Structure 1
Amino acid sequence: MGDQRWRSTGSIGGRVMGILLAGFISAAWAEPDSGRLVLSSENDDAAVTTTDALHLGTDLELTVQGLQAQVLVSQTFKNQTDQWVNATYVYPLAEDSAVSQLTMHVGERVITGEIQEKSKARKTFAAAKASGKKATLIEQQRPNMFRQQIANIAPGETIRVELGYSQQVMYDAGEFRLRLPLTLTPRYIPGVVNGQWRKEQTVATGVNGWASATDQVPDAHLITPSQQHVAGELINPVSLSLQLDAGMPLTRVHSDTHQLTISQPKGNDAGVRLIHFAKGEVSMDRDFEITWQPKPHSAPLAAQFVSQWQGERYLQLMLMPPQEVSANNLAPRELILVVDTSGSMAGDSIKQARTSALLALDTLTPRDRFNVILFASDSRAVFDHAVVASANNIQTARRALERMRADGGTEMLGALKRAFDQPSNTEYLQQVVFVTDGSVGNEADLLQHIHRNLGDARLFTVAIGSAPNRFFMRRAAQFGRGSFTEIAAAAQIAPRMAGLLNKLKRPVVTNIDIEWPQPVQVFPRRIPDLYWGEPLLVTAKLGPWPSRSQPLVTVRGVSGGKPWQRDFPINAATADADSEGDAIPVLAQRFGREKIKFLENEFYINGRDASDKARQKILPVALKYQLMSRYTSLVAVDKTPARSASEVGQERELSNAMPAGATMTAVGYPQTAAGVTWHLLLGALALLALLGIKNLEVHYGRS
């Protein structure tokens, strides 16, 4: 299993254990990869067989204007079997995606999808599937994870599915950034498999994942697709066509994750670029990230985007805070470093985490205090409590970080409890820096714990690896009133950790309040502290105002111990789509997405008991703005039956690629997931005990 193996000694006992564990390891680790369609048919005797279907490829078409990116993902599949098949696959999108468009192409036919309430969409899809019609159903499992089913693909048939969405461009420390997830890191599934959750498992059609539902992750079977990585092969090829319109002159356009070809139209120095992968196609084994930097003095101090829809004005506002604050106002810090050493971090991720943590130690001064917590299946602190940042203490912590190895489960809750239970001192600013890939399935429980137990601390998250769980990492930083940093490649460690460490030294603006010219819905509701290099970014919906007036927005806060204020007028809106029949403008859907996010946060804060109330609030918003959510789905149905009643469609699965840099070759039950795997192992050991095998020694070792 990655860098680990089972070793057994003893004659008959060793051979029996070897046979049992061979089957166990095969079930746990033999799996397919992200973007490849794997077709599995159920025979009359209920046995399941798997066959690869050719995944012809994925095409990404992006248009970036200002702070918004519009993305069209086109995936083409061909059924290479001689049977009718139904395909299921789980895939990632950006955690802030506003997903609203689905189109299925079958030959010359084009079938357009529509947003429906989730249970209605399932019934629509199930009826189409049973009647032999071609249909597609897409459901949100997490804000950054979606599950798609395609019904009734004919033998030898090719189907193309297009998914359209918008996502936010980030701005931090003078750099614009866009990241598109292309694969998943296997989720750790904590909890106990419980019969009360089995009913939920029977609701969804299609192929389930490698994990069973647990009391902590009821939808575990829907978020755990199989994954594999084959060295030297092009896995799930993807192409890119990106049109960047930055709206300002640029000094640099760059990607640390992929090699690009970048062209600039002649005579255009206003930030327009045409971008493709240098090799034409690449494997879907890592997220794609691109950054661009404006020329000096071209970076915006403020930006706003306004549009109008159905008589209402939608506004997105970005405002840069002052860049410096007097060092005389800085309080001593208490830095709690929490570092993930679980099995999913094996490979490049653990190296990036180690280097990042060591850089954080280098910023400590004798005025500061600190501690280091390492966690996997359990958590352990280097010191019993935060200690003075003396040279000897820092050296002790450095040795612990240099010795750490990736192994075991991702029991994140215990690590958070240990970090928040550190005794606090009002003379120190307590900062928790959480370094992990975030590959967990119990996000709701973790976010609830952060909200309830953070106290006066601030939580800063560092997302590590080529395919981290950015939804959890970003949301945890927001709940923790800190900031989010992502590191996708070794080249990013030094500059991005430097940016984070500058933020740790001082918040630039606190106690922020916005005064609006009229009643307004604005998100986020509670404006967080702003740190060095971070802009204020809010999205709002305003009612109509007199055409000749120009409303003024006032932003107030405290910077360097002194009052800080910025005033600026709101620009006139362009009537993008001021009628019922027109497409919903991107900015209106962005507002809808932010409102849904706010309502989701209430669900995470209040726990699963609030799910009914969350549904009542989220569903109308999702339907109004035609967005995917936990309570709405996209469904497309061809009206003409294609499969005759005498033919049976076979269930098939689409696998995901293992993230680049991970040492795991394949995963059916990931190394960091104890649930089902552990129960299988216990069963094998119990069987050996019942057989009365003696003189058997089993050792868990490393290669």
Structure 2
Amino acid sequence: MVINRGGYRALAYRLLFMLLAHSALGEESPGAGKLVFSNGDAAAHVASDVTMRVQGMHAEVVVEQEFHNTSQRWLNATYVYPLAEDSVVYRLTMQIGQRVIEGEIKEKEEARKIYQQAKAAGKKATLLEQQRPNLFRQQIANIGPGESIKIAIRYNQQVLYDSGEFRLRLPMTLTPRYIPGVTRKELVPEARLSSGSAGWALATDQVWDAATITPPQKHATAGQLLNPVTLDLQLNAGMELASVTSSTHKLDISVPEQGAAGERSIRFAQGQVSMDRDFELTWLPVASSAPIAAQFMDQWRGDRYAQIMLMPPREITPTQALPRELLLVLDTSGSMAGQSIEQARASAQLALEQLGPQDRFNVIFFDSHTRSVFPTAVSALPENIAKAASAVSAMRAQGGTEMHDALSRAFAHEAGEQHLQQIVFVTDGSVGNEAALLKLIHRRLAGARLFTVAIGSAPNRYFMRRAAEFGRGTFTEIANAGQVQERMRSLLSKLRKPVVANIEIDWPQPVEVFPRKVPDLYWGEPLLMTVKLAPWPSRSDQRIVIRGESSGAAWVRELVLPEPAQSPGDVDVPILARRFGREQVAFLEDEAIRLDARDQARAKILPVALEYQLMSRFTSLVAVDKTPTKPDSIPSAEHALVNAMPAGSTMQAVGYPQTATNLYWHFLLGCLAALGLWLLNRKEVTCA
């Protein structure tokens, strides 16, 4: 048979990715005073306890992790794990026996220096760094044989509201990220981190920090609790509830004694579960309690901080629907193997079924390569829909996750004058070059709207939510097959209905507000703003007026801002002040991407993060025990803790086991695969 260049090239790319995924980036040799152990060694493990307190639209979260050294060696442990993409991380404590050491927010390089000095001096220390807004890297130095160290991280996150339902998501593992680009020799020293164990991927010209976002992962065996976690969640919804459910975990839900109508106590029914999927909780208010608007107010250092949630209009008639050009962009890469590809297939089939005769459409698939069902968008005739449905049924998960070309092809479609172009992007988002993709969306979107659908039990929600915001669309998440019908129908309903656009807000005085430009509002999704206001003069009008247009008609809402809660003082930053600081940092990060000025972002972001005492790309949390415990004569072993592979994934485990010596062998094989790709440019490959 004859294998064409495209087919062999896809196979070679997959081989190259798998080889790199099974390589480890070694640090110094044992002669340099460090030992690098295989992750297969019984050395250290982590167990977690999560405490959540939900009040209205906010959740306060404490994640306590216990790192236990089961070996006879001194260990330095590294653990990479996800948090909510909008999390405001502001506190860390380290407990050794009965002693508790408070962490401090420091500029990133200063925090690293403090940690390295403590580590070299034999002191126990921990360093928490943000690798992505939803991915953090924890390092713990000098855990003695048989010792345990407890690290507690405190943060807050938003509750989401969509189409009448409140949702809270707790990430507990990650889908292995695809690292695009070419490994360059000059980047390898940069990837040799100054401390901690490195990941399975080498730095590339597109993802220079690949080694810090690719932790080892493995599948849990039958009956095994991999990285066990417990949950204690106290819900106070502030309204009467019709239901409280989870589609990801079995729960024990009770009503506290003498509790209000909207209060619930929630735990995992099994007590402990593996951290192999995100936890999602949803609750529905009774119809009479559904919110129209919600307002919260805090005061800190003389300023007022407000958060406002306002529902868009529901009075939408079918005659207002516009003809659409719907472009489905579907991820068929290797990380989608298992339940994710099934969910993507079901989502796409449902979208095709919803097309009307006035619509146009196309379907674009991507893995290591991009291909489409039609050269350009076609009318939604029965024969065209049938051809696309057949292609969707034949989807298979394989290869790398090359999103750039797929999005570029979607943006290259030119919609007709009467059609509204809508791009639905279905993927797990597991890539390391998020900033480059967001820049592409900003530059190439034009008049289209990008709607993202996060698939799987542990998607990259940071990238998917940001992509939707850059694309002026909405974000939908589907954790399992049971959610496909409900959530895709909700999304497709939004796509058929007009938005509230050209929104302007009249404030009683000058304010700082995020987002700076109010996005279009889609049916079922609220307007959410975070605001900083100077003190109002006495007898001033505390109303705000919100104006917009929907289907050519004016839309106006008025709100009266409440009096702020009294701040206990200037020491503790209240929750809304921290939320404002977090939104300001996110805006500055997005602005740096749009202006292609990420190298200049530090000067703007660092002062904000330090003022509001937040974790960011330029600040870290560090805690140091003052007393040295490890003798200078004893070497330490670097150990990377293993994350669970996402539940339902059939993708091969990555970076487990790994050793420094395997790097060069795998790198050599990777070079051979690359050479094979180069030879494809010279001749066809023929197999007898």
- Of residues 181, 194, 197 in structure 1, which corresponds to 2:171? 181
Q: Output the amino acid matched with 1:614.
A: A
The alignment covers a number of residue pairs equal to: 658
Equivalent residue, structure 2, for 1:469: 460
Sequence identity (%): 58
Q: Contact 1:326–1:560 (CA<8 Å) still a contact in 2?
A: no
Residues 551-630 of structure 1 aligned to structure 2 (within 5 Å): 551-577=542-568, 579-580=569-570, 582-607=571-596, 610-630=597-617
- In structure 1, what is the equivalent of residue 59 of structure 2? 69
Q: Is the 8 A contact 1:250 1:295 kept in 2?
A: yes
Aligned to 2:180: 190
Identify the match of residue 650 of structure 2 among 636, 647, 663. 663
Q: Give how far 1:641 is off.
A: 1.2
Deviation at 1:42, TM superposition (A): 6.1
Contact 2:588 2:605 in 1 (8 A): yes
Letter in 2 for 1:583: D
Q: State the distance in 1 between where 2:543 and 2:534 align.
A: 14
Superposed displacement of residue 29, structure 1: 4.7
The CA RMSD over aligned residues, in Å, is 2.6
| C-alpha contact 2:19 2:666 (8 A) present in aligned 1 | no
Q: Measure the CA separation in 2 of the matches of 1:680 and 1:456.
A: 46
| Residue pairs, 1:121-160, within 5 angstroms | 121-160=111-150
Q: Distance in 1 between matches of 2:152 and 2:76?
A: 17
Cα deviation per residue 1:410-467 (whole Å; 9 max; x = unaligned)? 0000000000001222210000000000000000000000000000000000000000
What is the aligned partner in structure 2 of residue 426 from structure 1? 417
2: distance between equivalents of 1:552 and 1:685? 65
Is the 1:507–1:529 Cα contact (8 Å) retained in structure 2?
A: no
CA distance in structure 2 between the aligned counterparts of 1:676 and 1:359, rounded to whole angstroms = 47
Residue number among 213, 226, 230 corresponding to 1:239 in the alignment: 230
Q: Secondary structure at the match of 1:485?
A: strand
Q: Which runs of 5+ in 1 are unaligned?
A: 1-20, 32-38, 689-696
What's the CA shift string for 1:589-648, capped at 9, x where partnerless? 0000000000000122233xx234210000000000000000000000111111122222
- The equivalent of 1:9 in structure 2 is none
Deviations 1:102-158 (A, max 9, x none): 000011111100100001101111111111111100110100001111011111111
Counterpart AA for 2:325? E
Match in the other structure for 2:11: none
Compute the TM-score of the two structures, normalised by the length of structure 2.
Answer: 0.92
Shift, 1:326, TM fit: 2.8
User: 2:280, 2:122 → 1: CA distance?
Assistant: 41
Question: 1:26 offset after TM fit, Å?
Answer: 8.5
CA spacing shift, 1:25–1:473, aligned 2, 3 Å: closer
- Asked if 1:289 corresponds to 2:280, the answer is yes
678 and 22 in structure 1: CA distance in 2 versus 1, 3 angstrom threshold: closer
Deviation at 1:25, TM superposition (A): 7.2
**What secondary structure is seen at the aligned counterpart in 1 of 2:391?**
helix
- Equivalents in 2 of 1:24, 1:442: separation in Å? 15
SS in 1 for 2:642: strand
Describe the superposition over 1:220-241 as per-residue Cα deviations: whole angstroms up to 9, x where unpaired. Answer: 0110001000331211110000
Q: 2:100 aligns with which of 110, 121, 127?
A: 110
* 1:199 CA drift (Å): 3.9
What amino acid does structure 1 have at the position aligned with 2:489? A
Alpha-carbon separation, structure 2, partners of 1:52 and 1:229: 16
How far the C-alpha of 1:516 sits from its partner, in A, is: 0.8
- Measured in 1, the distance between the counterparts of 2:235 and 2:307 equals 19
C-alpha deviation, 1:362, in angstroms: 1.0
Letter in 1 for 2:376: H
Distance in 2 (CA, whole Å) between partners of 1:518 and 1:26 is 59
Q: Whole-Å Cα distance in 2 between the matches of residues 246 and 121 of structure 1?
A: 38
User: Partners of 1:560 and 1:677 in 2: how far apart?
Assistant: 62
Give, in angstroms, the shift of residue 666 of structure 1: 1.2
Counterpart in 1 of 2:433? 442
Q: State the one-letter code of the partner of 2:155.
A: Y
Q: What amino acid maps onto 1:72 in structure 2?
A: V
Equivalent residue number for residue 652 of structure 1: 639
Give distance in 1, aligned partners of 2:686 and 2:175: 30
Please say if residues 41 and 650 of structure 1, whose CA atoms lie closer than 8 Å, have aligned partners that are also in contact: no
- Confirm whether residue 218 of structure 1 aligns to residue 218 of structure 2: no
Corresponding residue of 2:241: 250
Q: Deviations over 1:237-290 (max 9, x none)?
A: 100000000000001000000000000024544300000000000000000000
CA distance in 2, matches of 1:392, 1:676: 52
Q: What displacement does 1:492 show?
A: 0.6
Secondary structure of 2:291's match? coil
Q: Which moved more, 1:104-113 or 1:459-468?
A: 104-113
2-side partners of 1:535 and 1:363: how far apart?
25
Q: Does 1:381 align with 2:372?
A: yes
2: distance between equivalents of 1:539 and 1:530? 16
- Kindly report which structure 2 residues correspond to 1:40-79, keeping only aligned pairs within 5 A, or say none: 43-44=30-31, 48-50=36-38, 51-55=41-45, 57-79=47-69
In 2, Cα distance between equivalents of 1:264 and 1:365:
46
Aligned residue identity for 1:596: V
Structure 1 counterpart of 2:619, from 624, 632, 635: 632
The separation in 2 between residues aligned to 1:566 and 1:114, in whole angstroms, is 43
Q: Is the contact made by 1:42 and 1:650 (CA closer than 8 Å) also made in structure 2?
A: no
DSSP 3-state at the match of 1:603: helix
> Distance between the aligned counterparts of 1:377 and 1:163, measured in 2?
38
After superposition, the C-alpha distances for 1:172-216 in whole angstroms (9 at most, x for unaligned) are: 000000001000100000001112323422353111100111000
Once the two structures are TM-superposed, the CA of residue 677 in structure 1 deviates from its matched residue by 10
Q: Please tell me whether the aligned partners of residues 66 and 246 of structure 1 are also in contact (alpha carbons under 8 angstroms).
A: yes
Which SS does the other structure have where 2:630 is aligned? coil
**How many angstroms apart in 1 are the aligned matches of 2:330 and 2:281?**
26
Q: Choose the corresponding residue for 1:265, options 231, 256, 261.
A: 256
Does structure 2 conserve the Cα–Cα contact (< 8 Å) formed by 1:339 and 1:373?
Answer: yes
Tell me the TM-score normalised to structure 1 length.
0.90
Q: Is the 8 A contact 2:62 2:155 kept in 1?
A: yes
CA distance in 1, matches of 2:608, 2:498: 34
Q: Secondary structure at the match of 1:576?
A: coil
**Aligned to 1:350, which of 341, 356, 362?**
341
1:443-522 correspondence runs (5 A): 443-522=434-513
Q: 1:24 to 1:358 in 2, by over 3 A?
A: closer
Given that 1:349 and 1:465 are in contact with CA atoms closer than 8 Å, whether structure 2 keeps it comes out as: yes
Distance 1:517 1:189 in 2: 48
2:217 corresponds, among 224, 227, 235, to 227
Residues in 1 aligned to 2:29 and 2:185: alpha-carbon distance in whole angstroms: 24
Whether the 8 Å CA contact 2:35–2:635 is kept in 1: the answer is: no
Give the C-alpha shift of residue 489 in structure 1: 1.1
Matches of 1:629 and 1:663 in 2, distance apart?
A: 33
Greater shift after overlay, 260-269 or 185-194? 260-269
- Equivalent residue, structure 2, for 1:15: none
Amino acid at match of 2:204: T
- The one-letter amino acid of 1:624's match is E
